[in-house]
A and B are shown apart, each in its own frame.
Chain A
């Protein structure tokens, strides 16, 4: 009985979760001439990759993808490295001001990013960063949450390991690269995935700092297409393409990513 309830709930819920993605994929294979009046328009009678050809021939879309890659990949790499180093420092080193700095970081987590966006906009006007990659890359070079995750992880690792390495004559830099970095791979992968997903999907910041269509990341580009084009198939093709990178990252790092979410909340 319990099994039956479980499985029927599972089937219904899976259907609801699969449906939007099915609509996206199937919709992308439909060509617009089939009038949009039919509500089941997305079910293909005559699949075609024409939408994908069309969207790739449209230079601006390729540019949007390129912009997204630039403003995502650079922060992902620096986030992983900087958060790893800082996490190590806060977990294992004793130095003046450690507690004060760490708890200031923690306090700032509570500040919603929407509060910072207006003063940052004013600053970036002064810096000449509006409509440039700088506005989206430089503030994202590292993140407090990432530092916190790595610190939590490394605190669980016994200090003996580090001491043994010191006795063998290793220095801090060697210990970091040879011991701490490989050890904390799962948590660093989590930080990287978090950063990838949030930068790739970010809509709010590009919306504020960018006005030139050429500089848009793919999210903002798609948002500007929504409704305006009136071409459902083309929108879905664009969505499907922009979905691929997050989907791949998700497939490869799902385990770390979900563990990371668990760790970030409940200890």
Chain B
């Protein structure tokens, strides 16, 4: 009995400071943010209660809807290519090539590299002038120089390309784990039945990776709704709001426009979107991942 008490005593000694930290830096801000959406607060001076004003404004705010639409478009450009590239990379390193560990590392490298570095290089490579590297290269096949980041129809695509390059390595790791846990006997059986490699991939490997497809799709979607760094670094939301994503608009409203209350509304909108995606994840993946 005494020992039970001693055990728990130590546990609480550790736990209490951690819980205080948790409440101060996670729970309280979460609640404060919600409270803030009903207030007008200019940091200096007292907050003033304005009710649903900021929430109502959200529904009329064309830029906010454009930001949501941009983020959805970004997801469309980004999710499937990221998954496809991740899967291709995983298939390559799982195919028994030499130096597989080296290549796994190489493809993973952008994941650990700061966005600032990648944006610095890509911004230069995709310069919208004739002396940009890509414009120089496509010039050889007779394509006219493109504006890229300064074009409202292309900028979001370039940012998506950059993000795909940045995260495909982590998608690869998930698929690689999945591929390694596929039962080799299934391949043997398919081969004995005379199936081609192509057919084995579509009929055996691809369906077996279903739980991973789900998981990767959800995490990639959540990631795409939080995209900020590339838009901030390369286009500042422009041109003509073409790359204003939800988080960029939130940042811009709160910290350039100094409308913290409305930015809090936008952050809750982001939260609801991510919550919805997570609930889908729980519903489907909860059951699917039992295989692994």
- Main DSSP-derived SS at the A contact region: helix
Q: Which A residues lie within 8 Å of B36 (CB)?
A: 118-119, 122
Q: Which range holds the interface residue count of chain B?
A: 35 or more
Residues of chain B with a CB closer than 8 A to A13's CB: 88-89, 92, 107
Does residue A139 face the partner (Cβ distance < 8 Å to B)? yes
Bound Cα distance A123, B109 (Å):
36
Assess whether B115 is interfacial by the CB under 8 Å rule.
yes
| Tally of A-B Cβ pairs under 8 angstroms | 229
B80 within 8 A of A: no
**In whole angstroms, what is the CA distance A197 to B170 when docked?**
14
B116 touches A203 (CB 8 A): yes
Given contacts A36-B131, A125-B43, A266-B211, contact A93 B120 (CB under 8 A): no
The B interface is mostly helix, strand or loop, or mixed, namely: helix
* CB-based nearest B residue for A9: B92
0/1 per residue, B84-122, Cβ < 8 Å to A?
000011001001010000011111111011111111111
Query: Is B14 a contact of A261 with CB atoms below 8 Å?
Result: no
Task: Find chain A residues with CB under 8 A from B284 CB.
Answer: none
User: Are B117 and A120 in contact (CB-based, < 8 A)?
Assistant: no
Task: Select one of A18, A108, A119 contacting B33, CB under 8 A.
Answer: A119
Tell me whether A115 and B30 are in contact in the complex, defined as CB-CB below 8 angstroms, given that A6-B95, A122-B41 are known contacts: yes
Sampled A-B contacts (29; CB under 8 Å): A13-B88, A13-B107, A23-B121, A24-B120, A39-B131, A39-B133, A86-B18, A89-B15, A93-B7, A95-B7, A110-B278, A111-B30, A114-B250, A115-B29, A115-B30, A116-B25, A117-B267, A118-B36, A119-B264, A121-B254, A138-B25, A142-B18, A172-B7, A201-B116, A207-B232, A207-B255, A242-B114, A254-B105, A262-B176
User: Residues of B at under 8 Å CB distance from A?
Assistant: 7-8, 10-12, 14-15, 18-19, 21-22, 25-30, 32-33, 36, 41, 43, 88-89, 92, 95, 97, 103-110, 112-125, 131-133, 135-137, 165, 170, 173-174, 176-178, 197, 211-212, 215, 219, 226, 228-229, 232-233, 247, 250-251, 254-255, 260, 263-264, 267-268, 270-271, 274-275, 278, 289, 292
